[in-house]
């Protein structure tokens, strides 16, 4: 175990899990050629839900109405937002890090419904020592407040926590708060992640 890093905080989408086909392709059956615009605009407008300030289904219902889409928000959510596939090599890494003595935690931007699905149906409650969902913390990555509140929940000082995310802006924000940061996505392959972890003294 590293003399400094004692905890690993892992992002979900792009690190631990995938949405097969991608968001745009998944909503195309209902949104057609406006699918990409729909998803990008949805992401921009969903921030209150990600902070736990609004119910996601209220946001999605409004957004679908704005696009005259003839699909119920809950049906679309079930067809798209819960179409998650875990990345086996990343899940195996979680188990190996825990076996090596590290605290291993989840650090993800999620609204309540998808976060609850991940916690229960995907088994993340049992997989991680501490889960830091944005809707529970009241802050979203890359806001510095997200990482400050995550550290409080983990109960460790920033230098002891290493954060892994597929978005560079999130990693840079974590570093600004004092965490070690690794930029990586599962498409790069696990050996690349292990090399970057080793640079911080983290070995499995």
Does 62 fall in a domain?
yes
On whether both 76 and 95 belong to a single domain, the answer is no
* pLDDT tens column, 69-123: 999 999 999 999 999 999 999 999 999 999 999 999 999 999 999 999 999 999 9
* pLDDT tens column, 28-71: 999 999 999 999 999 999 999 999 999 999 999 999 999 999 99
The pLDDT value given to residue 2: 54
Question: Mean pLDDT of all residues in the chain?
Answer: 97
Q: What's the rounded Cα separation, in Å, for the pair 155 and 143?
A: 19
Burial 25-61, CB ≥16 within 10 A → b, else e? ebbbebbeeebeebbeebeeebebbbbbebebbebbe
On whether both 117 and 34 belong to a single domain, the answer is no
The pLDDT value given to residue 1: 55
**Residue 203 confidence (pLDDT) above 70:** yes
Does 204 fall in a domain?
no
The CATH number covering residue 156 comes to: 3.40.50.1000
| Number of domains the chain contains | 2
Does 1 fall in a domain?
no
Which residues span the domain enclosing 37? 23-81
């Amino acid at each position: 175990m590293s003399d400094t890093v004692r905890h690993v905080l892992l992002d979900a989408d792009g690190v631990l899990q995938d949405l097969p086909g991608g968001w745009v392709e998944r909503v195309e059956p209902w949104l057609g050629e406006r699918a990409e615009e729909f998803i990008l605009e949805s992401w921009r407008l969903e921030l209150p839900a990600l902070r736990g300030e609004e119910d996601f289904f209220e946001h999605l219902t409004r957004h679908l109405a704005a696009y005259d889409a003839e699909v119920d928000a809950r049906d679309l959510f079930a067809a798209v937002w819960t179409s998650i596939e875990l990345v086996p090599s990343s899940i195996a890494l979680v188990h190996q890090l825990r076996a090596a003595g590290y605290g291993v935690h989840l650090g993800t931007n999620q609204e309540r419904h998808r976060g609850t699905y991940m916690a229960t149906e995907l088994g993340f409650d049992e997989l991680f020592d501490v889960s830091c969902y944005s809707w529970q913390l009241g802050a979203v990555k890359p806001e510095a407040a997200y990482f400050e509140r995550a550290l409080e929940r983990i109960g460790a000082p920033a230098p002891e926590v290493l954060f892994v995310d597929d978005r560079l802006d999130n990693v840079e924000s974590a570093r600004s708060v004092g965490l070690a940061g690794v930029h990586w996505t599962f498409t790069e392959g696990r050996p690349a992640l292990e090399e970057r972890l080793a640079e911080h003294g983290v070995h499995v």
